[in-house]
Structure 1
């Protein structure tokens, strides 16, 4: 290959590499901007006044109320409590405890993520002691998406201890008029044997800015190396 053709190929590779790196850097900046907007939307929802039971039931699209605070009154359905296994709090493994709450207004049923409790690893099938009041209860919480699913080999479990909770399937299983599109994460101090120190949602905006810096730095490095090893000799020769 003659020197001219080799120079052209090197220049093409450099331009392609710089263009791709810059494009990826701007893509990371767009992702950061999107997550900042999402964070602002979550903060705005959380700052709104808490919805009462009637307002939540009458909402045309409850999913539009995600992350908003609620104050509910109803009665637990204790025999349908579910213990989601392998959930962590403070780096300890235990259960997220979910119980259906039958609302006073209209009789609708919401799944409430009541809190976290450690499990007994010596007697793995023993249910932890969770106190569930039998009469009407009032609770505060926030509207959230259904619980994320963990890897589960084989067929999904159907007892009180489960790896995952599919709300649509649970509605068929229990015949409860259960809301399928969201749950309520109960907030407040520890009670009934449950902790409620939920982590703050981390959208990872800083991560995207870090990736963007790395891509732009790589583009600058490739441009600098090309200029030093390919363009600089041309200027030196032209001066001579």
Structure 2
């Protein structure tokens, strides 16, 4: 004869665990869905901007919030005494750095950092830090918004050049006493001088909207699986033979 006994209801701690884990997984799913929408909008904007004409300095100053990834032409002069190296940049498995030099556009009050490209780090088997910069005059490039990821440590002076983990235009504007625009110009590969400038997209930028949606589905499936397992383990204790 079977004896049916009811186990006590789950404790508040068990309910808390269920809700906390499920909420975390659902939050990750929602975040990936948001990333998919953002990436789709970004790719559409990239296509639109790729068909637009080259920006002028005046246009960039008037609408700095909508110029990212737009082509731009400038005329002016480089100030190589103001150089920073964006350290620990990996290309084809090699550690290197991107060199950025201050540029003064002709007739402008503000300055801009120009990314001359990538070189093998002199601290990882590379040659001495290059000092040559392109000739003064006309340059072309693409506007780039520096990453805002938090990095450990601050600028480090090594062999006469400041090494940084990220480009902070506000910091260098104060350090150099020069007004800087809040973006960087990546020098076009057709401009003489400079270094490796293929400007390959980052791994995160290569992920399309569909991949983000797939990740969102995976997190959602994990949330449902977690809830199912939780209830299954609880119900297992409800009936005893």
Question: Which TM-score applies when normalising by structure 2?
Answer: 0.73
Instruction: Verify the 8 A CA contact 1:142 1:187 in the aligned structure 2.
Output: no
Instruction: Verify the 8 A CA contact 1:53 1:70 in the aligned structure 2.
Output: no
Aligned-CA RMSD value = 3.4
**Gaps (5+ residues) in structure 2?**
none
**Gaps (5+ residues) in structure 1?**
none
CA drift at 1:31: 0.6
CA drift at 1:219: 1.5
| Distance in structure 2 (CA, Å) of the matches to 1:8 and 1:192 | 73
CA drift at 1:147: 6.5
CA drift at 1:163: 2.8
Instruction: Verify the 8 A CA contact 1:71 1:141 in the aligned structure 2.
Output: yes
**1:108-119, aligned counterparts within 5 Å?**
108-119=110-121
Question: Which TM-score applies when normalising by structure 1?
Answer: 0.74
Instruction: Verify the 8 A CA contact 1:132 1:192 in the aligned structure 2.
Output: yes
CA drift at 1:137: 2.4
**How many residues end up aligned between the 2 structures?**
223
Instruction: Verify the 8 A CA contact 2:134 2:192 in the aligned structure 1.
Output: no
Give the structure with the higher percent helix: 1
Give the structure with the higher percent strand: 2
**Which of structures 1 and 2 has the bigger CA Rg?**
1
CA drift at 1:56: 0.8
Q: Say whether residues 1:230 and 2:237 are aligned partners.
A: yes
Counterpart pick for 1:53 among 54, 57, 63: 57
Instruction: Verify the 8 A CA contact 2:89 2:97 in the aligned structure 1.
Output: yes
Per-residue CA deviations over 1:35-75 (Å, capped at 9, x if unaligned) read: 1232133223322224233311222xx1x226331212123
Per-residue CA deviations over 1:1-53 (Å, capped at 9, x if unaligned) read: xx75x52236x666554444433332122211221232133223322224233
3-state DSSP of counterpart to 1:220: helix
Runs (4+) of structure 1 moved beyond 6 Å?
122-125
